[in-house]
Protein backbone atom coordinates (compact mmCIF):
# COMPACT_ATOMS: atom_id res chain seq x y z
CA UNK A 1 0.00 0.00 0.00
CA UNK A 2 1.39 3.36 -1.01
CA UNK A 3 2.27 6.12 1.49
CA UNK A 4 -0.21 8.55 -0.11
CA UNK A 5 -3.05 6.10 0.18
CA UNK A 6 -2.17 5.31 3.80
CA UNK A 7 -2.13 9.09 4.58
CA UNK A 8 -5.50 9.52 2.93
CA UNK A 9 -6.99 6.64 4.86
CA UNK A 10 -5.52 8.03 8.10
CA UNK A 11 -7.01 11.48 7.41
CA UNK A 12 -10.37 9.91 6.73
CA UNK A 13 -10.14 7.89 9.93
CA UNK A 14 -9.28 10.99 11.99
CA UNK A 15 -12.12 12.93 10.39
CA UNK A 16 -14.60 10.17 11.13
CA UNK A 17 -13.41 9.31 14.66
CA UNK A 18 -12.23 12.60 16.09
CA UNK A 19 -14.10 15.02 13.85
CA UNK A 20 -10.95 16.96 12.91
CA UNK A 21 -10.44 18.74 9.57
CA UNK A 22 -7.55 17.46 7.42
CA UNK A 23 -4.99 20.09 6.46
CA UNK A 24 -4.45 21.45 2.95
CA UNK A 25 -2.11 19.58 0.65
CA UNK A 26 0.87 20.58 -1.50
CA UNK A 27 1.21 24.23 -0.42
CA UNK A 28 3.54 26.19 -2.71
CA UNK A 29 4.54 29.67 -3.91
CA UNK A 30 4.26 30.68 -7.57
CA UNK A 31 6.15 33.96 -8.08
CA UNK A 32 6.99 35.55 -11.47
CA UNK A 33 8.38 39.09 -11.67
CA UNK A 34 7.41 39.66 -7.99
CA UNK A 35 3.80 38.73 -8.59
CA UNK A 36 3.47 36.02 -5.90
CA UNK A 37 0.60 33.58 -5.33
CA UNK A 38 0.34 31.06 -2.47
CA UNK A 39 -1.44 27.94 -3.76
CA UNK A 40 -2.51 24.65 -2.19
CA UNK A 41 -4.68 21.63 -2.84
CA UNK A 42 -7.85 21.05 -0.80
CA UNK A 43 -7.81 18.35 1.90
CA UNK A 44 -9.11 14.92 0.99
CA UNK A 45 -12.16 13.17 2.33
CA UNK A 46 -13.70 16.26 3.87
CA UNK A 47 -17.39 16.84 4.47
CA UNK A 48 -19.30 20.08 4.12
CA UNK A 49 -17.99 23.48 3.09
CA UNK A 50 -14.34 24.26 3.79
CA UNK A 51 -12.77 27.70 4.02
CA UNK A 52 -9.16 28.74 4.49
CA UNK A 53 -7.13 31.21 6.51
CA UNK A 54 -3.70 32.49 5.44
CA UNK A 55 -1.27 34.22 7.84
CA UNK A 56 2.27 35.55 7.60
CA UNK A 57 5.12 36.42 9.93
CA UNK A 58 8.42 38.19 9.20
CA UNK A 59 11.52 36.20 10.09
CA UNK A 60 13.34 39.49 10.64
CA UNK A 61 11.18 39.98 13.75
CA UNK A 62 11.34 36.63 15.63
CA UNK A 63 9.20 37.90 18.50
CA UNK A 64 6.48 39.08 16.17
CA UNK A 65 3.17 37.33 15.83
CA UNK A 66 1.37 35.98 12.80
CA UNK A 67 -0.96 38.36 11.01
CA UNK A 68 -3.89 37.52 8.81
CA UNK A 69 -3.55 37.95 5.07
CA UNK A 70 -6.94 36.46 4.28
CA UNK A 71 -9.72 34.65 6.16
CA UNK A 72 -12.81 32.67 5.17
CA UNK A 73 -11.45 32.08 1.70
CA UNK A 74 -13.28 29.68 -0.53
CA UNK A 75 -10.46 29.62 -3.07
CA UNK A 76 -7.33 27.49 -2.86
CA UNK A 77 -4.93 30.37 -3.54
CA UNK A 78 -4.00 33.74 -2.02
CA UNK A 79 -2.16 36.69 -3.58
CA UNK A 80 0.77 37.62 -1.32
CA UNK A 81 2.32 40.24 -3.67
CA UNK A 82 1.52 43.00 -1.18
CA UNK A 83 4.35 41.81 1.07
CA UNK A 84 7.61 43.74 0.81
CA UNK A 85 9.86 42.40 -1.94
CA UNK A 86 12.89 42.68 0.38
CA UNK A 87 11.33 40.72 3.28
CA UNK A 88 11.72 37.15 4.49
CA UNK A 89 8.48 35.51 5.65
CA UNK A 90 6.82 32.42 7.00
CA UNK A 91 3.43 31.79 5.43
CA UNK A 92 0.92 29.33 6.81
CA UNK A 93 -2.50 28.14 5.71
CA UNK A 94 -5.17 25.98 7.38
CA UNK A 95 -8.58 24.57 6.49
CA UNK A 96 -11.71 25.34 8.52
CA UNK A 97 -15.12 23.66 8.57
CA UNK A 98 -18.01 24.03 11.06
CA UNK A 99 -15.91 25.81 13.70
CA UNK A 100 -13.17 23.23 13.37
CA UNK A 101 -9.70 23.84 12.04
CA UNK A 102 -6.96 21.75 10.53
CA UNK A 103 -3.29 21.96 11.38
CA UNK A 104 -1.23 24.73 9.80
CA UNK A 105 0.77 24.11 6.66
CA UNK A 106 3.92 26.28 6.65
CA UNK A 107 5.78 27.71 3.64
CA UNK A 108 8.95 29.81 3.66
CA UNK A 109 8.87 32.79 1.28
CA UNK A 110 11.58 35.27 0.31
CA UNK A 111 10.30 37.29 -2.69
CA UNK A 112 13.61 38.52 -4.16
CA UNK A 113 15.05 34.98 -4.09
CA UNK A 114 11.96 32.98 -4.94
CA UNK A 115 10.56 35.05 -7.80
CA UNK A 116 11.28 33.97 -11.34
CA UNK A 117 12.79 36.62 -13.64
CA UNK A 118 10.77 36.59 -16.82
CA UNK A 119 12.15 37.19 -20.33
CA UNK A 120 12.72 40.76 -21.58
CA UNK A 121 11.04 42.23 -24.63
CA UNK A 122 13.47 42.09 -27.55
CA UNK A 123 13.57 43.81 -30.95
CA UNK A 124 16.09 43.03 -33.70
CA UNK A 125 16.91 45.19 -36.72
CA UNK A 126 19.33 44.35 -39.52
CA UNK A 127 21.39 47.30 -40.77
CA UNK A 128 24.71 47.64 -42.68
CA UNK A 129 25.90 44.12 -42.02
CA UNK A 130 25.14 44.30 -38.27
CA UNK A 131 22.23 43.34 -36.05
CA UNK A 132 20.89 46.05 -33.74
CA UNK A 133 19.33 44.43 -30.66
CA UNK A 134 17.12 46.42 -28.26
CA UNK A 135 15.65 44.95 -25.07
CA UNK A 136 13.69 46.14 -22.07
CA UNK A 137 12.16 44.66 -18.94
CA UNK A 138 10.82 42.50 -17.60
CA UNK A 139 8.20 44.63 -15.84
CA UNK A 140 6.96 44.16 -12.26
CA UNK A 141 3.49 42.75 -12.82
CA UNK A 142 1.70 43.63 -9.60
CA UNK A 143 2.60 47.34 -9.58
CA UNK A 144 0.03 49.79 -11.02
CA UNK A 145 2.86 51.61 -12.82
CA UNK A 146 5.10 49.82 -15.28
CA UNK A 147 8.27 49.58 -13.22
CA UNK A 148 11.19 47.61 -14.51
CA UNK A 149 12.28 44.71 -12.33
CA UNK A 150 15.81 46.04 -12.80
CA UNK A 151 15.06 48.77 -10.23
CA UNK A 152 14.70 46.21 -7.40
CA UNK A 153 18.10 44.59 -7.81
CA UNK A 154 21.49 46.17 -7.18
CA UNK A 155 23.17 44.68 -10.25
CA UNK A 156 21.60 43.77 -13.56
CA UNK A 157 23.04 42.55 -16.83
CA UNK A 158 21.57 41.38 -20.09
CA UNK A 159 23.02 38.31 -21.75
CA UNK A 160 22.67 38.08 -25.53
CA UNK A 161 22.98 34.68 -27.14
CA UNK A 162 23.23 34.43 -30.92
CA UNK A 163 24.14 31.81 -33.50
CA UNK A 164 23.85 31.05 -37.19
CA UNK A 165 20.54 29.51 -37.99
CA UNK A 166 20.86 25.88 -39.00
CA UNK A 167 24.51 25.60 -37.93
CA UNK A 168 26.02 23.36 -35.28
CA UNK A 169 28.51 25.94 -34.11
CA UNK A 170 28.73 27.00 -30.49
CA UNK A 171 26.38 29.72 -29.32
CA UNK A 172 28.11 33.08 -28.74
CA UNK A 173 27.04 35.19 -25.77
CA UNK A 174 27.67 38.83 -24.82
CA UNK A 175 26.90 40.47 -21.47
CA UNK A 176 25.98 44.15 -21.32
CA UNK A 177 24.61 46.62 -18.77
CA UNK A 178 22.85 48.66 -21.44
CA UNK A 179 19.46 48.21 -23.06
CA UNK A 180 20.85 47.78 -26.56
CA UNK A 181 23.75 46.17 -28.34
CA UNK A 182 25.13 46.08 -31.89
CA UNK A 183 26.30 42.67 -33.08
CA UNK A 184 29.00 43.41 -35.62
CA UNK A 185 31.60 41.38 -37.53
CA UNK A 186 28.87 39.10 -38.83
CA UNK A 187 28.84 37.37 -42.18
CA UNK A 188 26.79 39.28 -44.77
CA UNK A 189 23.56 37.82 -46.09
CA UNK A 190 23.44 35.27 -43.27
CA UNK A 191 20.51 34.37 -41.02
CA UNK A 192 21.24 34.73 -37.29
CA UNK A 193 19.02 33.82 -34.34
CA UNK A 194 19.02 35.72 -31.04
CA UNK A 195 17.78 35.23 -27.49
CA UNK A 196 18.20 37.52 -24.48
CA UNK A 197 17.93 36.93 -20.73
CA UNK A 198 18.56 38.89 -17.54
CA UNK A 199 21.51 37.95 -15.33
CA UNK A 200 21.81 39.13 -11.69
CA UNK A 201 25.24 38.16 -10.35
CA UNK A 202 24.74 39.41 -6.77
CA UNK A 203 21.62 37.30 -6.33
CA UNK A 204 22.93 34.37 -8.34
CA UNK A 205 19.85 34.52 -10.51
CA UNK A 206 19.36 34.03 -14.23
CA UNK A 207 16.19 35.05 -15.98
CA UNK A 208 14.21 33.17 -18.56
CA UNK A 209 15.25 33.35 -22.20
CA UNK A 210 13.28 35.52 -24.57
CA UNK A 211 11.53 34.20 -27.62
CA UNK A 212 13.91 33.23 -30.40
CA UNK A 213 14.17 35.95 -33.04
CA UNK A 214 15.93 35.46 -36.38
CA UNK A 215 16.97 38.04 -38.95
CA UNK A 216 19.25 38.17 -41.97
CA UNK A 217 22.27 40.43 -42.18
CA UNK A 218 22.73 42.67 -45.21
CA UNK A 219 25.90 43.93 -46.89
CA UNK A 220 28.71 44.51 -44.44
CA UNK A 221 28.68 48.24 -45.17
CA UNK A 222 32.33 48.41 -46.37
CA UNK A 223 32.41 50.59 -49.49
CA UNK A 224 35.08 49.71 -52.11
CA UNK A 225 37.67 52.37 -52.93
CA UNK A 226 36.62 52.65 -56.57
CA UNK A 227 33.08 53.52 -55.56
CA UNK A 228 34.38 56.29 -53.29
CA UNK A 229 36.58 57.67 -56.10
CA UNK A 230 33.69 57.53 -58.58
CA UNK A 231 31.38 59.34 -56.18
CA UNK A 232 33.97 62.04 -55.48
CA UNK A 233 34.76 62.52 -59.19
CA UNK A 234 31.07 62.70 -60.04
CA UNK A 235 30.51 65.27 -57.31
CA UNK A 236 33.42 67.44 -58.54
CA UNK A 237 32.21 67.21 -62.15
CA UNK A 238 28.72 68.18 -61.10
CA UNK A 239 30.06 71.22 -59.25
CA UNK A 240 32.20 72.24 -62.22
CA UNK A 241 29.22 72.07 -64.57
CA UNK A 242 26.76 73.70 -62.23
CA UNK A 243 28.88 76.77 -61.41
CA UNK A 244 28.93 78.22 -64.99
CA UNK A 245 25.28 77.32 -65.55
CA UNK A 246 24.27 79.04 -62.34
CA UNK A 247 26.44 82.06 -63.14
CA UNK A 248 25.05 82.64 -66.63
CA UNK A 249 21.51 81.97 -65.47
CA UNK A 250 21.90 84.56 -62.76
CA UNK A 251 23.44 87.03 -65.23
CA UNK A 252 20.59 86.51 -67.70
CA UNK A 253 17.96 86.99 -65.02
CA UNK A 254 19.75 90.08 -63.73
CA UNK A 255 19.86 91.71 -67.17
CA UNK A 256 16.27 90.77 -67.92
CA UNK A 257 15.09 92.22 -64.63
CA UNK A 258 17.13 95.38 -65.16
CA UNK A 259 15.76 95.92 -68.68
CA UNK A 260 12.20 95.45 -67.49
CA UNK A 261 12.30 97.65 -64.42
CA UNK A 262 15.14 100.05 -65.35
CA UNK A 263 15.26 100.44 -69.17
CA UNK A 264 18.29 102.23 -70.68
CA UNK A 265 16.25 104.26 -73.26
CA UNK A 266 13.44 106.77 -72.91
CA UNK A 267 10.40 107.11 -75.16
CA UNK A 268 10.42 110.48 -76.99
CA UNK A 269 8.18 113.06 -75.39
CA UNK A 270 6.53 114.18 -78.65
CA UNK A 271 5.66 110.57 -79.48
CA UNK A 272 4.17 110.14 -76.04
CA UNK A 273 2.03 113.22 -76.62
CA UNK A 274 1.10 112.00 -80.07
CA UNK A 275 0.04 108.59 -78.86
CA UNK A 276 -1.78 110.04 -75.87
CA UNK A 277 -4.27 111.90 -78.15
CA UNK A 278 -7.18 109.70 -79.23
CA UNK A 279 -7.75 111.67 -82.43
CA UNK A 280 -4.19 111.18 -83.53
CA UNK A 281 -4.31 107.49 -82.74
CA UNK A 282 -7.48 107.15 -84.81
CA UNK A 283 -5.85 108.88 -87.77
CA UNK A 284 -3.30 106.12 -87.90
CA UNK A 285 -6.03 103.78 -89.09
CA UNK A 286 -7.96 106.33 -91.26
CA UNK A 287 -7.66 106.35 -95.08
CA UNK A 288 -4.83 108.28 -96.67
CA UNK A 289 -6.01 111.91 -97.20
CA UNK A 290 -6.09 113.44 -100.63
CA UNK A 291 -3.02 115.29 -101.85
CA UNK A 292 -4.56 118.79 -101.80
CA UNK A 293 -5.32 118.49 -98.10
CA UNK A 294 -1.81 117.46 -97.15
CA UNK A 295 0.43 120.03 -95.53
CA UNK A 296 4.06 119.14 -95.80
CA UNK A 297 7.16 120.78 -94.52
CA UNK A 298 10.44 120.55 -96.25
CA UNK A 299 12.85 118.39 -94.32
CA UNK A 300 16.52 118.76 -95.02
CA UNK A 301 18.94 116.22 -93.68
CA UNK A 302 22.39 117.66 -93.27
CA UNK A 303 25.24 115.34 -92.47
CA UNK A 304 28.35 116.42 -90.65
CA UNK A 305 30.42 116.66 -93.87
CA UNK A 306 27.69 118.59 -95.69
CA UNK A 307 27.51 120.98 -92.78
CA UNK A 308 31.26 121.62 -93.00
CA UNK A 309 31.09 122.13 -96.74
CA UNK A 310 28.13 124.55 -96.40
CA UNK A 311 30.04 126.50 -93.82
CA UNK A 312 33.01 126.75 -96.21
CA UNK A 313 30.71 127.86 -99.05
CA UNK A 314 29.09 130.38 -96.77
CA UNK A 315 32.49 131.74 -95.79
CA UNK A 316 33.56 131.98 -99.44
CA UNK A 317 30.29 133.70 -100.35
CA UNK A 318 30.70 136.19 -97.54
CA UNK A 319 34.27 136.86 -98.70
CA UNK A 320 33.10 137.39 -102.27
CA UNK A 321 30.36 139.73 -101.10
CA UNK A 322 32.86 141.75 -99.15
CA UNK A 323 35.16 141.95 -102.20
CA UNK A 324 32.26 143.12 -104.36
CA UNK A 325 31.33 145.74 -101.85
CA UNK A 326 34.92 147.00 -101.77
CA UNK A 327 35.04 147.15 -105.59
CA UNK A 328 31.79 149.11 -105.71
CA UNK A 329 33.16 151.53 -103.15
CA UNK A 330 36.30 152.09 -105.15
CA UNK A 331 34.28 152.50 -108.29
CA UNK A 332 32.06 155.08 -106.68
CA UNK A 333 35.07 157.08 -105.58
CA UNK A 334 36.35 157.45 -109.12
CA UNK A 335 35.55 160.72 -110.92
CA UNK A 336 34.38 160.47 -114.45
CA UNK A 337 36.12 163.07 -116.63
CA UNK A 338 34.69 163.64 -120.07
CA UNK A 339 37.10 163.23 -122.93
CA UNK A 340 38.11 166.29 -124.90
CA UNK A 341 37.43 166.49 -128.48
CA UNK A 342 41.09 166.71 -129.27
CA UNK A 343 41.65 163.46 -127.61
Dihedral sign for Cα 164, 168, 169, 172, please.
Answer: positive
Q: Could you give the CA distance from residue 178 to residue 175 in angstroms, rounded to a whole number?
A: 9
| Pairing label, strands 130-136, 89-97 | unpaired
Q: Give the length of the chain.
A: 343
Could you check whether 3-114 and 121-216 share the same CATH topology?
yes
3-114 homologous superfamily: Immunoglobulins (2.60.40.10)
Domain residue ranges of the chain, discontinuous segments joined by +:
3-114, 121-216, 224-276
Over the stretch 308-333, which tens digit does the pLDDT of each residue have? 555 665 565 566 556 555 555 554 55
Instruction: Kindly state the DSSP code that residue 21 receives in the 8-state scheme.
Output: P
CB 21 within 8 A of CB 43: yes
Q: Which one is predicted more confidently, 19 or 23? A: 23
Q: Could you give the CA distance from residue 222 to residue 280 in angstroms, rounded to a whole number?
A: 82
Phi and psi at residue 185, in whole multiples of 5°? 55, 40
Position 247 scores a pLDDT of: 74
CATH class of 121-216: mainly beta
Q: Strands, DSSP E only, in the chain? A: 25-32, 35-41, 51-58, 67-73, 77-79, 89-97, 100-101, 105-109, 121-127, 130-136, 157-164, 172-176, 180-183, 191-200, 205-206, 213-216
CB 53 within 8 A of CB 103: no
Position 343 scores a pLDDT of: 39
Over the stretch 241-296, which tens digit does the pLDDT of each residue have? 777 788 778 777 777 776 766 766 555 666 667 667 655 444 544 454 444 455 55
CA end-to-end span of the chain: 212
Counting residues of the chain whose pLDDT is more than 70, the rounded percentage is 65
Over the stretch 106-141, which tens digit does the pLDDT of each residue have? 999 999 999 999 999 999 999 888 999 999 989 987
| Pairing label, strands 105-109, 180-183 | unpaired
Interval 138-160 mean pLDDT = 85
CA of 310: how far to CAs of 37, 278, 317, 323, in Å?
132, 42, 10, 20
CB 148 within 8 A of CB 140: yes
pTM exceeds 0.85, yes or no: no
Amino acid sequence: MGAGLRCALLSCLLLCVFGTVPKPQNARIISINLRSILQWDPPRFHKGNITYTVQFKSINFPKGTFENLSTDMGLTECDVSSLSAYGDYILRVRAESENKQSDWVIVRFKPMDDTIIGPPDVKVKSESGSLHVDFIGPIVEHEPDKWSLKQYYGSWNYRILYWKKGSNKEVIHIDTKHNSEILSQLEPWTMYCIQVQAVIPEWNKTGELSQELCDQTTHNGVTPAWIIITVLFGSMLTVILLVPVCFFSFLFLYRLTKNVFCPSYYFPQHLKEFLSKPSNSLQLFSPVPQEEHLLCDKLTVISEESKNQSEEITDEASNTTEQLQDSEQEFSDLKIVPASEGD
